[in-house]
């Protein structure tokens, strides 16, 4: 018995009962479509939260000087001077889980362009900072390592500052502004980032070489922050531990000493949000999965009825030469054809419904390949699993009894 003939036999048998086949499929169709839509909604909301955080730099690790006790008085961390160039070098050399490191110092002050002025913050950094914070250049150029080594009087300007200093919309790139009485040439305009989750305007900034701000404005050799980015979101925890270890070593802290710095990540925020959406996704998927199982039971039910109803047909097929396994395969293939066809229609319906959800309800959705593949595999397995027992029952019929079945 070849498989082509088996497929033909099974297909013809289904063709004879189109309506019944379709009704049987309906359970599977709805089940698969539900799984896809539910997972798409779950994944979509997860992705949208994730995107918002990633925009802020989801892999970002921030190191601040710790608050400390000096003679019984707690001193604010920012006034404590512990972070130096030595730490940056150590992190760059020894860090395995961190891809970029940048020091940072900030200075608040008034930026001035002729009669226009605007209070803002100048952040002194190295070029890596732009990658860490996901800042991109709209026009002009970025910071260069050369700017840092020469303490060049150049800066990048955020859109909010540019709008206030150049209200007539002139291109700020190439022009000179003053900040802290020092002239800075604007070499690049930053892309707009808008407000962050905490309501801060991320475009109200000036970015300059760290050495320029340290030497020319603050007159300090210390850093106020160190920013680093973990090489991927998954290794953020490892990277945090690594940064801590490197800095403890670099600061020659004894085992009994407390850290004189604090390492912060956005990981905690992300994991809380992810946990919520993951739970939602699991919940939705389970509900949808239950409907898929019910669809499978529907198949089994119909196949059992079908075997009983077609007892004489089975007897005839056996009498003209069908072997037990031919009958088994026929009913199994029928069940699989039903569930796979249902699966395909379900996937299409799932896609359409997902688009409808996005269009009509404006919910973020993301159709994940794995949900499509998974529900499809589940379909095939459902067909085999729920189709097997009825098929086996059919194949074990005695041809003599089956032929005379009334």
Sites of contact with another protein (CB under 8 A): 1-2, 5, 8-9, 12, 16-17, 312-313, 315-326, 399-400, 403
Considering beta carbons, is residue 249 or 323 the nearer one to another protein? 323
Question: Least distance to another protein from the beta carbon of 289, Å?
Answer: 36
Question: Least distance to another protein from the beta carbon of 304, Å?
Answer: 19
Considering beta carbons, is residue 259 or 392 the nearer one to another protein? 392
Question: Least distance to another protein from the beta carbon of 391, Å?
Answer: 16
Question: Least distance to another protein from the beta carbon of 404, Å?
Answer: 9
Question: Least distance to another protein from the beta carbon of 8, Å?
Answer: 7
Question: Least distance to another protein from the beta carbon of 322, Å?
Answer: 5
Considering beta carbons, is residue 140 or 324 the nearer one to another protein? 324
Considering beta carbons, is residue 216 or 310 the nearer one to another protein? 310
For the chain, the three-class secondary structure string (H helix, E strand, C coil) is CCHHHHHHHHHHHHHCCHHHHHHHHHHHHHHHHHHHHHHHHHHHHHHHHHHHHHHCCCCEEEEEECCEEECCEEECHHHCCCECHHHHHHHHHHCCCEEEEEEEEEEEEEEEECCEEEEEEEEEECCHHHHHCCCCEEEECCCCHHHHHCCCCEEEECHHHHHHHCCCCCCCCCCEEEECCEEEEEEEEECCCCECCCCCECCCEEEEEHHHHHHHHHCCCCECEEEEEECCHHHHHHHHHHHHHHHHHHCCCCCCCCCCEEEEECHHHHHHHHHHHHHHHHHHHHHHHHHHHHHHHHHHHHHHHHHHHCHHHHHHHHHCCCCHHHHHHHHHHHHHHHHHHHHHHHHHHHHHHHHHHHHHHCCCCCCCHHHHHHHHHHHHHHHHHHHHHHHHHHHCCCHHHHHCCC
Considering beta carbons, is residue 267 or 313 the nearer one to another protein? 313
Considering beta carbons, is residue 5 or 171 the nearer one to another protein? 5
């Amino acid at each position: 018995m070849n498989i082509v003939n088996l497929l033909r036999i099974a297909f013809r048998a289904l063709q004879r009962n189109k309506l019944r086949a379709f009704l049987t499929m309906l359970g599977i169709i709805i089940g698969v479509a539900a799984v896809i839509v539910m997972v798409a909604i779950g994944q979509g909301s997860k992705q949208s939260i994730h995107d918002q955080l990633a925009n802020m730099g989801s892999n970002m690790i921030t190191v601040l000087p710790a608050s400390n006790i000096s003679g019984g008085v707690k001193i604010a961390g920012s006034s404590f001077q512990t972070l130096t160039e030595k730490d940056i070098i150590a992190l760059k050399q020894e860090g395995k889980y961190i891809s970029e490191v940048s020091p940072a110092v900030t200075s608040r002050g008034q930026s001035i362009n002729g009669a226009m002025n605007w209070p803002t913050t100048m952040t002194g950094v190295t070029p890596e900072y732009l990658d860490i914070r996901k800042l991109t250049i709209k026009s002009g150029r970025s910071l260069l390592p050369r700017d840092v080594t020469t303490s060049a009087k150049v800066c990048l300007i955020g859109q909010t500052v540019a709008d206030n200093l150049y209200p007539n919309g002139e291109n700020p790139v190439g022009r000179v502004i003053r900040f802290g009485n020092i002239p800075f040439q604007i070499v690049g305009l930053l892309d707009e980032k808008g407000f962050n989750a905490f309501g801060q305007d991320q475009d109200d900034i000036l970015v300059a070489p760290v050495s320029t701000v340290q030497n020319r404005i603050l007159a300090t050799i210390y850093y106020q922050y160190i920013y680093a980015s973990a090489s991927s979101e998954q290794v953020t925890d490892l990277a945090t531990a690594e940064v801590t270890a490197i800095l403890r070593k670099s600061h020659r802290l004894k085992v009994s000493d407390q850290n004189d710095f604090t390492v912060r990540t956005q990981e905690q925020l992300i994991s809380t949000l992810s946990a919520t959406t993951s739970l939602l996704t699991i919940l939705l998927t389970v509900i949808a999965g239950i409907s898929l199982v019910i669809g499978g039971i529907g198949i089994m039910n119909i196949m059992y009825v079908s075997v009983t109803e077609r007892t004489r047909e089975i007897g005839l097929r056996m009498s003209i030469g069908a072997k037990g396994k031919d009958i088994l395969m026929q009913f199994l293939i029928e069940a699989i054809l039903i569930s796979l066809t249902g699966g395909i229609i379900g996937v299409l319906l799932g896609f359409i419904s997902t688009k409808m959800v996005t269009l009509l309800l404006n919910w973020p959705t993301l159709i994940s390949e794995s949900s499509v593949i998974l529900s499809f595999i589940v379909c095939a397995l459902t067909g085999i699993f729920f189709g097997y027992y009825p098929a086996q029952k059919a194949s074990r019929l005695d041809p003599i009894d089956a032929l005379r079945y009334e």
